[in-house]
Structure 1
């Protein structure tokens, strides 16, 4: 079982030119997209979060169930669902404005236990920024690592939500000792002001850097570096692409029984290349359609 911990929200996505061109609500949030993508790929997956009892919250849970994701660890609340208004540029890249005050996911409390047979726990995005929930997710990250579980972190920086960048950067560094696999984009790396080799020295067994259409690169503890190019695709938008990469990496590692530091260390150049190419193909499919619509296993074939 792979557990994805973090926010679920509603993206309001423009359907044409102009900021207010037919805004369409879409199910979203980085961890939510990762969980849906894992479910579609066929990995046993559970979602650990807190969602509203409003209509948006019900739709979010329905989306998880449809993807085959276990929602028994989802907490519920009367507060409204977080909203994110997307702006899509001419290259399909998305920027967001968030409406987060008093929303349900911010009141997340760390659970006493994770679902049975949990092998890995994935964290990231807004859930590690917005208090008081951020401290609860941080507690869960440290607890999962202390139990010897495989942990992944995708910071997926949303700078507009971070009032004190230096304090966040210090907090990010403090998480690394509890992280097995760090995945982040080039933009994230630039904003954080570090390098893969620096982060590896602080704890992770591997760092995967996404480079948009240029592909993916992994940096490993033994000093190795492996890259694959991006998959050519007509980009509609990039919403959910990084989240799809998270899911594809976890799915592929689970298929290889490599959800451990030892498993990562055992991957050779061929193994990493195969895994990164799988993630690049999955992300390309997501980019080829509007909104966060990750692929199904039938669209990718067996890993």
Structure 2
């Protein structure tokens, strides 16, 4: 079982047509980094559960249906009458920007459920490790499950507007790394974490891999992705050509696809990840890149099903 901890929310995405005021109508799309990862894992055939707190409002009920229909175990979900978090999406030249409405919302009030007896891996990140009081609960889960021997995968998925104290967050991030087996992040996130937009993200990854993780995976958008290994090795792959409709959820799909590949190949543990060779990592990254390309080919965070990837591979 792969337990994904973190937020489930609604993205409000502008339509192409604009009103007389110059503003576009906003269409609700179900998302949230952790929810996207869990949905992608379920669709890729992995045994996955989401640890979060969902509202009992209409959005929360829709999120629950989405998770269930994607094959995600919902037994760890907590419920409350607080509202669902909202993220207003603003497309920009190199991706999207977000404005968040999260005060007093359900997903930040999650509590630590105690030992995750059935978990072989735990995936964390996103808003869930920023917004209190839930952030401390997830951090507790991370440290306990790491000590219990579960593989810990972390994707910080930085959302700068929600981080009040950048220096404190960066210190906290480095404090997590001894408990992390697999660190995945975008090039932009890596540069934010080192406080230098001109810094080589792979160079930063080489520093972080000495602090705990067995591997650090860096995504470069349309330029592909890289993984840096503890022994100093590096593997790079390109992104398959496809029509990009929407990049929302692409990074979450990468996180899920990596974990799904590890589970499918029976290497879902910290020691097994540390032992992966160059060709195995190349296969991991190619699978992740192909999965993310499908997500980018359609609007909203809509990760592929395993059958879709099998069909593409056979073409």
TM-score category, normalised to shorter length = over 0.9
Scaled by the length of structure 2, the TM-score of the pair is 0.93
RMSD: 1.4
2:66 maps to 1:63:
yes
| CA deviation map 1:141-198 (0-9, x unaligned) | 1111010100100000000000100000000011111111000000000000071111
Aligned match of 1:236 = 245
Aligned match of 1:2 = 2
Counterparts of 2:266 and 2:223 in 1: how far apart (Å)? 28
Q: Secondary structure at the match of 1:16?
A: strand
2:214 maps to 1:205:
yes
Q: Secondary structure at the match of 1:219?
A: strand
Q: 1:88·1:237 contact (CA, 8 Å) conserved in 2?
A: no
Give the deviation of 1:24 after TM superposition.
Answer: 0.6
Q: Secondary structure at the match of 1:232?
A: coil
**Matching of residues 136-147 of structure 1 within 5 Å:** 136-147=137-148
Counterparts of 1:258 and 1:169 in 2: how far apart (Å)? 30
Q: Secondary structure at the match of 2:15?
A: coil
Q: Which runs of 5+ in 1 are unaligned?
A: none
Q: Mean Cα displacement is larger for which, 60-69 or 19-28?
A: 19-28
Counterparts of 2:26 and 2:122 in 1: how far apart (Å)? 33
Give the deviation of 1:117 after TM superposition.
Answer: 2.8
Match of 2:266 among 244, 257, 260: 257
| CA deviation map 1:36-95 (0-9, x unaligned) | 00000010111100111111111101100000101010011111000000011245x111
Q: Which runs of 5+ in 2 are unaligned?
A: 195-200
Aligned match of 1:268 = 277
2:226 maps to 1:217:
yes
Counterparts of 1:36 and 1:229 in 2: how far apart (Å)? 24
Q: Secondary structure at the match of 1:237?
A: coil
Give the deviation of 1:106 after TM superposition.
Answer: 1.1
Aligned match of 1:38 = 41
Give the deviation of 1:17 after TM superposition.
Answer: 5.2
Counterparts of 1:262 and 1:113 in 2: how far apart (Å)? 21
Q: 1:87·1:95 contact (CA, 8 Å) conserved in 2?
A: yes
Moved over 2 A (4+): 17-20
Q: 2:150·2:270 contact (CA, 8 Å) conserved in 1?
A: no
Q: 1:51·1:105 contact (CA, 8 Å) conserved in 2?
A: yes
**Matching of residues 143-158 of structure 1 within 5 Å:** 143-158=144-159
Q: Number of matched residues?
A: 301
2:303 maps to 1:294:
yes
Counterparts of 2:126 and 2:282 in 1: how far apart (Å)? 26
2:297 maps to 1:277:
no
Q: Mean Cα displacement is larger for which, 188-197 or 135-144?
A: 188-197
Q: 2:224·2:289 contact (CA, 8 Å) conserved in 1?
A: yes
Q: Secondary structure at the match of 2:217?
A: strand
Give the deviation of 1:237 after TM superposition.
Answer: 1.3
Aligned match of 1:186 = 187
Aligned match of 2:105 = 103
Q: 2:52·2:78 contact (CA, 8 Å) conserved in 1?
A: yes
**Matching of residues 20-31 of structure 1 within 5 Å:** 20-31=23-34
